[in-house]
A and B are shown apart, each in its own frame.
Chain A
Amino acid sequence: MKKQLGFLVDTEKCIGCFTCAMACKNVYHQQKGIAWRQVHPMGESIYPHRERAWLSLACNHCENPVCLEQCPVKAYAKREDGIVVHDQDACIGCGNCVRSCPYGAPKMNPVEKRAEKCSMCWQRIDAGLDPACVHSCPVGALSIADISTARLDGWVQYPAGYPEPKRLNPSTRFKAPRQPREIRRNDA
């Protein structure tokens, strides 16, 4: 496998504070209602506890990105480090990528009338910095790694509540949330 940068989402650490989503918004100033990173609460049928667990998701920078495959004007490209970038100047706003991505990563900018999505802050990465979401996470729940070489024991590719279109091979990896320990009177 070639070099492939991917987000690592530690749902055990994530507290659902949305700081990652806000940091992304602060850097890129998306239009109202548009978010490149979203924090999805896990439903009670997946995580049936009083505590909550969250999936912080942006573009998964798939190995076989369907956005790149289906873009009729080749506005998408995959860098050598695996980041999928979108050239908004080339985009004609057909919406094919928005419909195609099962994770809803590309969004239609209603003002520009062109698609846009998470770029994994490639400019920051090229400058040796972390993406804004990773940089801002107060609990260290987000990080990036080259998943082609990193040791990812204990990390999963398809947690519950996450679409599983295997052909795309999304590069995000997750650590499942810890199950809360139930303390009964006899345990005390």
Chain B
Amino acid sequence: MNIVVAIKHIPSIADDLPVKGNNVDFDSVDFVLNEFDEQSIEQAVLVKESVGGTVTVIGVDLIGELDNVLHLALAKGADKAVKITGDDPSADSHTQAKWLSEAIKGLSPDIVFAGVQASNDLDGQIGPLLAAHLDMPYIGGVSSVGVSGDTATVSKEFAGGVGAKYAVTLPMVVGVQAASKPPRYAPISKVRQIAQTATVEKVAPSGDASSGLTFKKMAPPVAAGHAEMIEGSSKEVAAKIVELLKSKGLA
């Protein structure tokens, strides 16, 4: 079974995000793997472990640092890594999805995984865009995937534990919300070993698509209101909270 995981390298929101012009200043931020992609890689590897096959992880290399992420994916159980040499940190989801879909076509996938969303999906997520380009059905918000023959059974979550189970004739694109098990830890020694021995296949970007969005402004939110901040030591904070709760009859 050919399993493909499409990943997205995104600016880390652990940092403050500096602005340059009308967009994030991509030169001054760290890029990390989209957290939902960690889940989708895990789900892909779980599927491989249960039915066999190969997992190919593919992403657009926006800033020349995707290798690190790909090595990590290989250490977690992926078999093959491909990067599309995009070299444009501002490439949006539409652009990335187009490039990815062109490269993925050549892999003749049975199932494609993507993270359900990313924090910078301003023009939509990779998963459904890929599905449209590859002409495959898409289901997002997925929290478990089982494959049997040419059928995948996926559970989609709506909200609050309510969801639906679907049977899908493969191939399809899955937008993973959470893998059926929490993602495993890849020992860095393994990652480093892989970094020395593994080859990451390079693919030039092909195809052209744009989100059709023009950025007019990008800025941290101007808070409409701000919480009344309780100052002091933790103990003082606790005391004030308790006092507040008591005054409102909540404790």
A binds B: no
